[in-house]
Structure 1
């Protein structure tokens, strides 16, 4: 039967979003183990293939089954705050109770016949504290090698997804939010059902801990749930816009808009397809951060951009006026045929 999360009134009042660099790292590793999920990320895989060739990830692969199965939750526990840093999350991972880690590792190893009794499986279970340290060190290495260079772009896509779904919730309530997460997610009668999980018993009773929703760049085409106690029930779903993450260049602004605003400001406005920081925009457009900051200030003063703080970052995004001006620029008099 599908996986069903029973959510009481207290759970629904504690429905929240988060962006977790640690969870993204482990979703990327899961994706690497499952070739059917590579489709949207072939350009990224091409770029990191030499890096991957130089990494020995075998201790992590021990706990990432190739087909289905369970990956220990302590490898990517639900974050306690909306926008944790990778350093904070790795510290939390390293502080995992060895007894809990052993239970989760044993459950993961049991998904692959013979792995529990293998020399590597026995060694991991005999020293759970040491295994946690080694896995955390290797996860940190994978983060810096595979995700950190692209993290500003990933974070922007995830932030844009959360902003979109927050608007859905504001306009249509929890029904609109929860039913729009993924085609495999249903919401009815206080039950959040995740189809495609195979034979699962009911996993979660209402207990007031709420539910955590996390967009992911790497989870496609699945939607997954972390439901083992003591972790907060979590649903990880594919983020909107992830398909353009590694392939779409910054769009070229309409010529009419470039004449009105100047090429750099028009380019920045057109390039904000998802929220982005000053540093990210400077890298993408090949401009000095001080120049980008000046242009963003002018565009914001004109009502074309909004700015909001997200954790340690200030993200800029187009307003409705900015969207309208960009759309109008596509059909300026000089660009129409007469």
Structure 2
């Protein structure tokens, strides 16, 4: 680990004055410290934002919730309004990491997690995400855990967050602030596909800070389910995860939300597909059609074709569970 300066501002303006390409904001540090230990991240300055007033969960004028960027993952998952009105988010958070890490991790930091691709973490091998232009050994190497959607010749890594898959399905908004003022980023536009710039995970500028995550007014508080398939029962990242939400009209689908994790450089969702199945019967046969349509464009690599079948079965199971479930978080 290289030497670095440390600052702890007391307000957002002070934090932004210190921000830049060679500085990193730090809150819980559950990912950044690992990256620093492996010499993947080498900031010249750490800006400790834990003293900023970003720890509130408040109602918005539109009837939704604003979640301060420093609200802890464990606290958020057990917040009464989240459990009652956004159980899909509570389920996803509780599926992630371990209780110890959820106690430390912040909501804003969860959005900024970097891939757990083994090649990215190994500074002795090339990686376009770590060193642009050096190559992507995962394309021809061990790629069992890698992307089946949205990859490029430069990167096949996947986004690791569970919380973000639920936020994608719920159509959250990310509130950010920078020297030029504040702006809102639709969640679908926050994370990037690798394209020609795999080193860029999201659309934040170097000097911008996430201040809050905003949820719309609740419309999926009953028939939801978050399903995570992994190699072991705890403390493992998803091979496939599914955030499924249904609004039922009798025995038909009034509205569908479906997002996948573990399959792409960002949470994977297809709103046009969701709209196509509106009004269809809420049956296993329909869920099978949804799974087939969702996976029709998959492009597996040499070692992860199993993910297509796994995702197909997981989608059907998650939608069936959502239909039967009444918003429980356990």
Structure with more strand by fraction: 2
TM range (shorter): under 0.3
The higher radius of gyration belongs to 1
Tell me: higher relative CO, structure 1 or 2? Use CA pairs within 8 A at least 6 residues apart.
1
